[in-house]
Amino acid sequence: MEQLKAVILAAGKGTRMKSDLPKVVHTIEGKCLVDYAIEAAIGAGAEDICLVVGYKYEVVRETILHQEVNFVLQEEQLGTGHAVRCAKDFLGDEGQTMILFGDTPLITAETLKRLREYHTENKNTVTVLSAMVEDPTGYGRIIRDADGNFVKSVEHKDASEEERASHEINSGMYIFDTRELKEALEKIQPNNAQGEYYLPDTLTIIKDKGLKVDAFALSDPEDIMGVNDQEQLKSAAEIIRRRNQAK
């Protein structure tokens, strides 16, 4: 297997949490949300991990259990593509890079291993972790052609009515060929409803080079559920307790 690094996006304030704390340091069972993502990355084989931090980054640095990770500061929140670009010196030019979120404590090493195996076996340049959901409102959609081949990922705000009919959502988690990721990051532009640098735009850039872009779809979206408010934090805590009891 090639060298694997992981970049975990953890810069957000998390306004909907109604708390002064950075979102990723809220805890479940005594462990920060971002620690769950770090452990999943380590379990999937990531040798080096970088947290992209922003809001109250000192609190994140002091609070997390895993002190062996690297940190890079995203001073302005200009989108997911910009966040990953902040970590470009960490990426290097070799192997594979996994992109994860600091507010998805339900992601497991097992799912990330399966994503990596699928990516490697299918000789993909980038593979999106996706999932089928009943109500995809608000999520970026995976668009496929009539044969089921990946066409593109489009944000909900920028999607047409037809594209919004897709129930396959982009989790925001990926595995990339590192060299191609770095090249594509330099080319993305903020030409969208939010005026942000979207990481999914790298997929189109890579695909337009004739390289292979694909999505690995989970039948159960539980693993990719994010935590944006106190209700979702409670739901995630219940799932983690259930999983711990089942061990």
Active centre residues (catalytic): 16
Residues near 208 by Cβ (< 8 Å), separated by ≥ 6? none
Q: For residue 101, which amino acid is it?
A: F
Residue 13 in tokens: 């304030």
Per residue in 54-80, is it b (16+ CB within 10 Å) or e — as a string?
bbebeebeebbebeebeebebeeebbb
Angle, helices 201-208 vs 178-185, to 10°: value is 110
Helix then strand then coil, in percent of the chain rounded to 5, is 35, 25, 40
Specify which residues 152 forms β-bridges with: 143
